């Protein structure tokens, strides 16, 4: 898959909704180690509200508008700190894609960079503080690198997911600087950051979605080749 269109975004948000509903209890238990245990609830609510809101806007709405709508819905449904930060990420990511007709590698890089900048600004956090930014930054950097080299979206997202997974692992050795976890700085060492886990789940879901769409496109192409479609078959003979 080289790019997602507006109509793909509805399905992507559906996939995110499923992921965060399935991972709700896992996130609750992660957050419960040093936080206040509400992260799984917050994220499940936020992505469910976003999926509903995106489903309600027309499939041909601009990508920018779809993402901003998702963010605004999250802000309303999940007003805790992480809910508001996630909402901010989507709203800023949406603003960064104003005028974009499709979401390719370059646009994905712009989205994740703006997503991270929005959270950094609103949450007054920086890379290394043991937050979601510690995975967003490598995601954005990987996508920016691939965009320059001109890669395919599914491959680029797969590389970004690997970078995010490695970055999540390294949050284990960091000291928490924000939220309730900051009150237990030393205790937070050894645990992967719960917020950063959210970032990894987001990029993994985005990757799986892009790959499944690519497979679907490829099998469609294979079908066409096997049955010898009139246009391509004719010109080859």
DSSP secondary structure, 1-39, as one string:
---B-HHHHHHHHHHHHHHHHHTHHHHHHHHHTTS-S-H
C-alpha closest to that of 49 among 69, 65, 63, 31? 69
Contact 158, 215 (CB under 8 A): no
Q: Which of 12, 27, 43, 68 binds another protein (CB under 8 A)?
A: 68
Interaction pattern, residues 197-226, with another protein; x per rule: CB under 8 A: ------------------------------
User: Rule CB under 8 A: is residue 43 a binding residue for another protein?
Assistant: no
User: Rule CB under 8 A: is residue 122 a binding residue for another protein?
Assistant: yes
Hey, what are 235's tokens? 């010109």
Alpha helices in the chain (DSSP H): 6-22, 24-32, 39-56, 63-77, 81-96, 105-123, 133-149, 153-170, 185-188, 194-227, 230-236
Q: Which residues pair with 103 in a beta bridge?
A: 4
CB of 146 to another protein, least distance (A): 30
Interaction pattern, residues 177-196, with another protein; x per rule: CB under 8 A: --------------------
Q: Which of 75, 135, 156, 158 binds another protein (CB under 8 A)?
A: 75
User: Rule CB under 8 A: is residue 141 a binding residue for another protein?
Assistant: no
Contact 92, 115 (CB under 8 A): yes
Stretch that binds another protein, among 107-115, 117-125, 144-152, 210-218 (CB under 8 A): 117-125
Is 85 or 135 the residue whose CB approaches another protein more closely? 85
- Residues found near another protein in the complex (CB under 8 A): 68, 72, 75-76, 79, 81, 84-85, 87-88, 91, 122-124
């Amino acid at each position: 898959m080289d790019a997602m269109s507006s109509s793909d975004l509805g399905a992507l948000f559906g996939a995110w909704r499923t992921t965060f509903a399935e991972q709700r209890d896992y996130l609750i238990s992660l957050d419960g180690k040093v936080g206040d245990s509400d992260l799984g609830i917050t994220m499940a609510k936020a992505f469910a509200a976003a999926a509903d809101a995106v489903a309600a806007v027309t499939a041909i709405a601009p990508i920018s508008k779809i993402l901003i709508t998702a963010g605004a819905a999250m802000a309303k449904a999940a007003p805790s700190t992480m809910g508001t930060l996630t909402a901010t990420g989507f709203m800023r990511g949406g603003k960064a894609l104003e005028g974009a007709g499709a979401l390719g590698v370059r646009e994905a890089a712009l989205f994740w960079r703006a997503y991270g900048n929005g959270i950094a600004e609103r949450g007054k956090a920086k890379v290394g503080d043991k937050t979601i930014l510690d995975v967003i930054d490598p995601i954005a950097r990987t996508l920016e690198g691939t965009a320059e080299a001109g890669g395919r979206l599914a491959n680029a997202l797969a590389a970004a997911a690997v970078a995010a997974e490695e970055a999540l692992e390294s949050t284990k050795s960091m000291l928490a600087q924000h939220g309730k976890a900051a009150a237990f700085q030393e205790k937070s060492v050894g645990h992967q950051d719960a917020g950063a886990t959210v970032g990894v789940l987001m990029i993994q879901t985005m990757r799986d979605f892009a790959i499944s769409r690519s497979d679907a496109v490829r099998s469609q192409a294979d079908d066409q080749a096997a049955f010898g479609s009139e246009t391509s078959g004719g010109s080859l003979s």
